[in-house]
Structure 1
Amino acid sequence: MTPPPLTQVVLKVHSRCDLACDHCYVYEHADTGWRARPRVVGEAVLARAAERIGEHAVAHGLTSVRVVLHGGEPLLAGPAVFRRAAEALRAALPEVCDLDLRVHTNGVRLSAAYCELFGELGIRVGVSLDGDRAANDRHRRFADGRSSHPRVLRAVGLLREPRFRHLFAGLLCTVDTANDPVAVYRALAALEPPAVDLLLPHATWERPPERPAGAGATPYADWLLAVHERWEADGRPFAVRTFDSVHRTLAGLPGLGEALGLEPVDLVVLETDGTYEQADSLRTAYDGAPATGLDVFRHSLDDVARHPGTAARQAGLAGLNATCRACPVVRSCGGGLYAHRYRDGSFDHPSVYCADLRELIDGLAARAGAPRRPAPPVDVAGPELSDAQLGELALGQGGPETVRALARSQLALTRAMVAAVHGSSGVARSAAWELLTELDAAEPAAVDAVLAHPYVRAWAARRLTGDPGAGLAALAGLAAAAAVRAGRGDAVAVPLREGVLHLPTLGRLVLGGGAREALVTGGRTGWTARTGDGTLTGPGDPRWQPVRRIGLAGWRVLALEDVDPQRAVHCWPVADRLSGTAYAGWAQDLRAAADLLDRELPDYAAGLRAGLTTVTPLRPGPDGRDLSSAARQAFGAVAIARPGTAPGLALLLVHEFQHVKLGAVLDRWELYDRTDTRLFEAFGLSPRPVGSLFQAVYAHLAVTAFWGTQADAGSPAARSRFTHWRGLTDAAVDLLAGSGALTALGRRFADGARESLDPWLRVPAGRARG
């Protein structure tokens, strides 16, 4: 049996720390392996680690990999190490696999220069902070006893600045029952984090957690439930993985990590010397507990996945002891963290936090027990496509009606996903959901206009897969945007993030100050937003930044999306709000690109006109390199770093929209055997699975056609590119067709690719139109 792939890698870039936290499991618990490791990860380890991660992504057809740069204290490694790591990882991953790159730091060395570097490299930042100064300094101090709290607050302050806010991944807080839970919550909430992770301190039956005298039988559950009460009362202003994970498992969905739930573990740790280890939490069990005996130079990530220690952590219900298997909350608890089960040389025991976990889960279940209004019915499948429409898509093209049918199918899927987000939220009643449901019955066009926005589905997908940055508060923004569009006078309270109100498809209002919530009311003559201090504003406010749209002759109006906080789902960093001059440049180039595509590639332009709704600007690539992306969960959007010419923009538009179309097809139909693990070499790229090969072929049908039309102009460079791409695409189509991995419909698409390409093979490069 093939083990599940490993999709999360903790990559240690430094093995020492500049704090002396007395609760640290790396340096203060049983394992001492850190003493013999290099302080800084070497270039050879980084390069080989990137290769291993890339080959694993290709072998398993992964569409996303998360890599957390960690320590010790990772910032001690220096900026050059981060640049090498980011560039190596992005170069090693296949085009269709997104890299979620993060760093977790104690914050004391975080600077504006580091933030600028992380912004350039697309690295999000998590910070450890245990609450107010008294709570934080109980454990997190320098070796000489000095407080770390002021420097950590300064770091979080940097991440809260508008220029760096998009980098802020969240806060990690270790629970200490000696600290006041409400005071800790308020201290963390005041920093307006996108997410907070509340971690139980690592402990075993041989080294049990502190349990203050007189605190009762379940002090950790009591502490967490006190925080949950305040979090609920505040309207869940940020994600809390512990609470969200319990709510999800109670609703029958997967948990969010190995601490709760029965899902297979998908995480591996890579040390500075290139050795693979299991979860860091195992350091609390015994010396050598995390070791695997494997390293990046001799072993693949598949070897790590097959390691007995990994297998034990992936066994789900079957891997638990009889007491846990018989427990009524086992599907939420999952037996607790593997390390916390250790006793007398074995992990075959309940968690040392067993009683606390049972009390926490029962308590959260009781709080979510009120009846919930059912979600509106959704047609997950959406409309069928005719045989003729499938034939158009098989050729790599697709006319307006065909692409619009794909869009309707994608909207149905988005509706189902948004309903699933609410259903798994654990919220008994939600005013935003109630309003969205009511508007869907009375003003369905207004709701559809919002839900069809590409980054609504991207948010829902992130939320359903446990991304803590995809907060539930976004649901209120959807309801408010639909209410504004409906114009009935409905009002909805929308939580603000760093003083910013975002209304999907409409824009954002940058209020600043200490406002935490705005009451948005949509009427026939516009909308208003009222904050707690009585401020009343609307779309005429100079602080309002609307989504700017560009009208293209014969095309639908395109949104140039540079304000949606959910847009950062592409494989390259997104640009900040464009200046007026930059916006004007984009508008000019998009109009010229649309004219060129209408004139030169009408068969491809027809689908673009019908399905492309959103262009998201990316930050410029290094050395002026063209960058572009299509996110699988964002139908209708492409992301592009504005190239130097309008033809260059036209090429990127048509290339990325091919991925958009094929992604929508793959949501409805099987084109290939997804269990086929063979790798195929094409387009001069690293070996990749059949799904990635299919995507590359489909995109390069349009690339070949584009350069074929440009070769007519007589440019030697265009003729050379045409010859180059048609040759590579020809070979790749043959490889795909002969792979033996295609379904009947997949073979039809391969035949269609051949039919589209063959005319280009029969003409000289200088007379490409033939």
Structure 2
Amino acid sequence: MVPFRQFVLKVHSRCDLACDHCYVYEHADQSWRRRPKVMARETIAWSALRIAEHVKTHALDQVTVVLHGGEPLLAGHDRLQAVAEAIAAALTGTCRLDLRVHTNGLLLDDDFLDLFEEKGVKVGVSLDGDRAAHDRHRRYADGRGSHDRVLGKLALLRGRPHLYAGLLCTVDVANDPIAVYEALVEQAPPRVDFLLKHATWDEPPESGAGDWLIAVFDRWVADGRPMAVRMFDSIESTSRGGPSMTEALGLEPSDLVVVETDGAYEQVDSLKAAYDGAPETGLDVFGHTLDEVARHPGIAARQRGIDGLAEACVRCPVVDSCGGGLYPHRYKEGGFANPSVYCADLLKLITHVRGRLRRTHELTSGQLGELAAGHGSAEAVAALAAGQVSLRRLALTKAAGPGPAWRLLTAIDDEHPAALAAVLDHPYVRAWAVRRLAGTAGPAHLGNVAAAAAVRAGVTAEVEVEVLAGVAYLPGLGALTGMSGAMVRIDRGGAWAEGATWEPLRRLTAMGIDVALEDLDPYRDCHQWTPASRLDGERAAAWQERFAAAVQVIARDHPAYLPAIRAGLTTLTPLDQAAGTTSSAAGHAFGAIATTLPPDSETLALLLMHEFQHVKLGGVLDLFDLFDERDARLFYAPWRDDPRPLEGLLQGAYAHLAVTDFWRRRDPLAFARWRADTAMAIETLLGAGSLTSLGAAFVAGMRAAVLPWLDEPVPVEAERGAQAERAAHRARFG
């Protein structure tokens, strides 16, 4: 049984719009007519109790609760406050709560935003694009459009960006895709969810959704991915063997349940598009636990992964990304054992996105110039990441010896290449391979890599693995603890060993960024500082809170850095707090940053920006020769008390492009200090005579980024203070 982690509470069953594409009111299921308009306080209390009961039973570390409708704001300020307080009180001290509201936005005002501010509620708003697109369907009962009013409410929400969860846009092929995209971008959303109009084989949709979404995808990529797009991010993630971020795609089991205004449990409410009564379970919060709901046949059917798909889907080359599509869209003549009614559109879109991913293996001169300037586009960083997969594959091949583990990996690569690619995405696989080639690590860890690939591929196997201190770690997935032997069985998408306990690798998420919180991998010690041991639940929750806040700081104050981080940061490794506030990147672990948990989100934002500069430059140096490695001279580095080799000076100067930019918005003295010192280091590099022609062009790009900063005015006392600090540092250096 898969526990629920997402709970949709229908706090109000009516709406102030009459959208003609709404699955609640306009499709087959009409159960809203017999439900109370608003969720009663007793129902709220029982819902909170059942969620808390489920969390404790399954030791969940985080759940998401979405206040939904109808239109949830019709429930009113007091009722929404009661819901938020009941849920928060029930979960206090047990798990982290992600509380959200999905609204058409028409009633949003400062009173509601004050409430959401107080209760930590994030707000998602439905917007179908420009006026023509939005008002095509989202109209009042008298036919008036709602677009202008929604834009006014979004202006209020943008004034509190920490509450802004994103936009939901229903795809209509009658609308201009680029006009829709541009209208959404104008609202500066942190995320956009494109939703296919609900349809079934009995009532099929218009054709063309695939081409419509491809047009949006290509423009989104060309613009440097200005916001997260859940559908596109999920296709890219699953194509690399990673998780999906939406129930509409991927093979992960469903973990969502709905509570209606009368307390009835329902399956995903988009099932209302299939037939009358389709989402019903016959269970309710007053008499049934959520474990009982999880055992309902309808819920179980959506948790079978590939085993629950039609034969045509199982044979499909993109099934790992598509996952058969959204469950209601498979309905035909009384059953769901069919491909999605959007099958052709999903195949076309996923194939297009995957083709774009394959083309990113080549880094263009333009992308190299983007990276030289300090930021780098998402496409440029994706190209660096693609190059790393090749390097990790090569290192793994060299480090591997003959034997069962290598034969299993070879078979998986032939039959399930995406599964192996996903394991190779984990940065510390290469760290182990490099140590193995240097003779400082044993060969047995290859079995752990093979076991992780087998789990992702869903194959059955028995693998001998490396066990360290009773722990067998599977890269990118988690660890079996309490191991008494070295044999691990892979079956039905999981890893098992006699007497062992599975500990999954936790993840951190924020604004479309999804990274591993790596506190298990034994080869994460490739950073210069001691890694932290396994975090307890409270500490892991603190990391999630601080990480999300740090990403918000970057998005708010340094948005140009965010697309690259979103595209390339895969792993955050906690360091032992005894090191103080510090951070590190490792040359053989592209995509990973190691850091202590700093005291505030702004410091973490600085550390992430700083270290990801090292990650990007490390990826460039893996692909290109920027300097003559025979030059053994040491050079003065303004940020160090010891002289640095040429590569060290280049790394420091590149990292300080971000450091300078960070302080440029905060501290005139620090900005004055680092802009001059970074410029000086760049001139040292250009004058060293050891850069290749490509290296000289790259460093010249760095210089072009710094020069405008030198002309920016700063207070006289800040400039004097910077000069004094610079002189003192140079004196210490001698």
Q: Given the two structures, how large is their TM-score scaled by the length of structure 2?
A: 0.57
Alpha-carbon separation, structure 1, partners of 2:237 and 2:654: 29
Alpha-carbon separation, structure 2, partners of 1:50 and 1:118: 18
Q: Deviations over 1:488-534 (max 9, x none)?
A: 4756999xxxxxxx9799668389xxxxxxxx9981679999999x8
Alpha-carbon separation, structure 1, partners of 2:323 and 2:289: 28
Equivalent pair of 2:56/2:94 in contact (CA under 8 Å): no
How much has 1:22 moved relative to structure 2? 0.7
Alpha-carbon separation, structure 1, partners of 2:156 and 2:388: 42
Does residue 47 of structure 1 match 2:45? yes
The change in CA–CA distance for 1:445 and 1:75 in structure 2 (over 3 A counts) is closer
Alpha-carbon separation, structure 2, partners of 1:66 and 1:452: 27
Aligned to 2:212: 223
Aligned to 1:407: 532
How much has 1:432 moved relative to structure 2? 6.9
Match of 2:665 among 509, 512, 517: 509
Equivalent pair of 2:24/2:272 in contact (CA under 8 Å): yes
Alpha-carbon separation, structure 2, partners of 1:493 and 1:149: 44
Match of 2:24 among 23, 26, 31: 26
How much has 1:274 moved relative to structure 2? 0.3
Aligned to 1:479: 612
How much has 1:329 moved relative to structure 2? 1.1
Alpha-carbon separation, structure 1, partners of 2:660 and 2:228: 20
Alpha-carbon separation, structure 2, partners of 1:434 and 1:179: 29
Q: Which aligned pairs between 1:615-694 and structure 2 lie closer than 5 A?
A: none
The change in CA–CA distance for 1:408 and 1:322 in structure 2 (over 3 A counts) is closer
How much has 1:407 moved relative to structure 2? 3.1
Match of 1:374 among 367, 381, 388: 388
Aligned to 2:129: 131
Alpha-carbon separation, structure 1, partners of 2:347 and 2:599: 35
Alpha-carbon separation, structure 1, partners of 2:95 and 2:661: 27
Alpha-carbon separation, structure 2, partners of 1:189 and 1:521: 36
Alpha-carbon separation, structure 1, partners of 2:290 and 2:233: 29
1:351 match: secondary structure: coil
Aligned to 1:17: 15
How much has 1:333 moved relative to structure 2? 0.8
Equivalent pair of 2:584/2:611 in contact (CA under 8 Å): no
Aligned to 1:244: 233
How much has 1:112 moved relative to structure 2? 1.3
2:85 match: secondary structure: helix
Equivalent pair of 1:276/1:295 in contact (CA under 8 Å): yes
Structure 2 unmatched runs, 5+: 362-385, 393-426, 436-440, 442-466, 471-528, 552-562, 574-581, 587-591, 618-637, 640-647, 668-674, 683-701, 719-734
Alpha-carbon separation, structure 2, partners of 1:84 and 1:451: 41
Equivalent pair of 1:20/1:140 in contact (CA under 8 Å): yes
What is the letter of the counterpart of residue 263 of structure 1?
E
Equivalent pair of 1:453/1:505 in contact (CA under 8 Å): no
Q: Which structure shows the bigger proportion of residues in helix conformation?
A: 2
Alpha-carbon separation, structure 1, partners of 2:292 and 2:660: 44
Match of 2:62 among 45, 61, 64: 64
Does residue 182 of structure 1 match 2:178? yes
2:341 match: secondary structure: coil
Does residue 199 of structure 1 match 2:198? no
2:665 match: secondary structure: strand
What is the letter of the counterpart of residue 225 of structure 2?
R
Equivalent pair of 2:231/2:246 in contact (CA under 8 Å): no
Equivalent pair of 1:530/1:537 in contact (CA under 8 Å): no
How much has 1:538 moved relative to structure 2? 7.4
The change in CA–CA distance for 1:4 and 1:177 in structure 2 (over 3 A counts) is same
> Which piece of structure 1 moves more, 477-486 or 84-93?
477-486
Equivalent pair of 2:584/2:595 in contact (CA under 8 Å): no
Match of 1:165 among 161, 164, 181: 161
Q: Deviations over 1:74-95 (max 9, x none)?
A: 0010111121111111111151
Does residue 342 of structure 1 match 2:331? yes
Alpha-carbon separation, structure 2, partners of 1:52 and 1:126: 25
How much has 1:254 moved relative to structure 2? 1.9
2:23 match: secondary structure: coil
Aligned to 1:294: 283
Equivalent pair of 1:340/1:353 in contact (CA under 8 Å): yes
Alpha-carbon separation, structure 1, partners of 2:251 and 2:593: 35
Equivalent pair of 2:583/2:611 in contact (CA under 8 Å): no
Aligned to 1:713: none
The change in CA–CA distance for 1:455 and 1:155 in structure 2 (over 3 A counts) is farther
Q: Deviations over 1:455-480 (max 9, x none)?
A: 89999xxxxxxxxxx9xx99767535
Q: Given the two structures, how large is their TM-score scaled by the length of structure 1?
A: 0.54
Does residue 315 of structure 1 match 2:311? no
How much has 1:238 moved relative to structure 2? 1.0
Identity among equivalent pairs (%): 52
How much has 1:445 moved relative to structure 2? 6.8
**Structure 1: 4+ residue segments shifted above 2 A:** 375-387, 404-410, 430-437, 444-451, 453-459, 473-494, 502-511, 524-532, 534-542
The change in CA–CA distance for 1:522 and 1:345 in structure 2 (over 3 A counts) is farther
Match of 2:678 among 500, 514, 523: 523
Aligned to 2:354: 365
Equivalent pair of 2:609/2:659 in contact (CA under 8 Å): no
What is the letter of the counterpart of residue 221 of structure 2?
E
How much has 1:96 moved relative to structure 2? 3.9
Match of 1:257 among 246, 260, 264: 246
1:350 match: secondary structure: coil
Equivalent pair of 1:15/1:39 in contact (CA under 8 Å): yes
2:241 match: secondary structure: coil
Alpha-carbon separation, structure 2, partners of 1:368 and 1:475: 25
Q: Deviations over 1:96-129 (max 9, x none)?
A: 4000000000001100111111010000000000
What is the letter of the counterpart of residue 231 of structure 1?
W
What is the letter of the counterpart of residue 523 of structure 1?
T
The change in CA–CA distance for 1:20 and 1:531 in structure 2 (over 3 A counts) is farther
What is the letter of the counterpart of residue 532 of structure 2?
A
Alpha-carbon separation, structure 1, partners of 2:77 and 2:649: 51
Q: Aligned residues, how many?
A: 469
Equivalent pair of 2:593/2:608 in contact (CA under 8 Å): no
What is the letter of the counterpart of residue 192 of structure 2?
V
2:178 match: secondary structure: helix
Equivalent pair of 1:58/1:93 in contact (CA under 8 Å): no
Equivalent pair of 1:105/1:127 in contact (CA under 8 Å): yes
Equivalent pair of 1:15/1:73 in contact (CA under 8 Å): yes
Alpha-carbon separation, structure 2, partners of 1:326 and 1:230: 31
